[in-house]
Amino acid sequence: MTPMTVTDANGNNLEDGSSIKLAKGLKVKDAGITLKRGVVVKNIRLTDNKDEIDCKINKTKIVLRTEFVQKR
């Protein structure tokens, strides 16, 4: 089985522990918060889905779509 490749908006590979920057302002519907563009998120976790990553922003666990993040 080939390992899953997770890439950011520019096609750069993402790994567990990578730091990313939000490439777009995002509204998190359930949490009722808006994440600003440019916010830096450290220590991301990959998921089973190659289009999504797990991360923590202000102690809130959030799942982000990879096309809206940029590797730092």
Partner 1 sequence: MAFQPFKTLLFGFAFSPSLKANVYEVTRLASFFNSKLVFVHVGEKTKEKETEFNQLLKKCPVKPPLVEIHWKSGEPVRVLTGSCREFGIDLLLIGALKRENVLKYYLGSIARKLTRQASCSVLLMLKPSVERSPCRHVVVNGFDSPKTQETVEAAFYVADSLVSQKITLVEEISESRVAISVDDDRSLRKATLRKEKIDRQEKRRVTDIIQKIPLAQKKDLKWETQSVFGRRGYSIGHYARVVRADLLVMNAQKKTGFFSRFYTKDLDYILAELPTDVLIIQSRTNG
Question: Which residues of this protein are in contact with partner 1, per CB under 8 A?
Answer: 7, 9-11, 23-25, 51, 65, 67, 70
**Tokens linked to 53:** 């990553």
**Tokens linked to 8:** 């950011």
Closest distance to partner 1 from the beta carbon of 7 (Å): 8
Q: In 3-state terms, what secondary structure has residue 67?
A: helix
**Tokens linked to 34:** 């808006």
Q: Indicate the residue among 2 and 59 with the shorter CB distance to partner 1.
A: 2
Residue 38 CA to residue 45 CA, distance in Å, equals 19
Closest distance to partner 1 from the beta carbon of 22 (Å): 10
Q: Indicate the residue among 11 and 59 with the shorter CB distance to partner 1.
A: 11
